[in-house]
Amino acid sequence: MYGMNALFVYITAPDQEAARKMARCLVEERLCACANILPAAESLYWWDGAIEHAHEAVLICKTTEEVWPAFERRARALHPYETPCIVALPLTRGFAPFMQWIADETRS
């Protein structure tokens, strides 16, 4: 089946501008086929022993298992956070032509 090694990568960013910068680099460098930016997220989380509250942007990227190591390295290098949320979720089902497009448009 086409593109069965596709991944959705979920990344939180401090704001829309930072998310846009990361998305542009990751797409231009063919580390992901597409990046969606969701500009408004509200986050509550533990940091340094206290609950923090922040407004963030969310970046969702489509890539592949083969590209993941290079994607993760580059996303980490671009990210301003000390410990960024960069997590990959496997795509186990999807419209075959779309899944193949993800594979065709990415490379490490």
The DSSP string of 46-105 is: EETTEEEEEEEEEEEEEEETTTHHHHHHHHHHH--SSS--EEEEE-----HHHHHHHHHH
Q: Report CA 57 to chain centroid distance, whole Å.
A: 11
Q: Which residues of the chain have pLDDT under 70?
A: 1-3
* CA–CA gap between residue 39 and residue 62 (Å, rounded): 18
* CA–CA gap between residue 12 and residue 79 (Å, rounded): 9
The pLDDT of residue 2 is 54
CATH topology of domain 6-96: Alpha-Beta Plaits (3.30.70)
The pLDDT of residue 3 is 53
Residue 89 buriedness (CB in 10 A; 0-12 / 13-18 / 19+): exposed
Measured torsion, CA atoms of residues 90, 73, 56, 35, in degrees rounded to the nearest 10: -60
The pLDDT of residue 11 is 98
CB atoms within 10 A of CB 92: 8
Residue 108's SS3 state is: coil
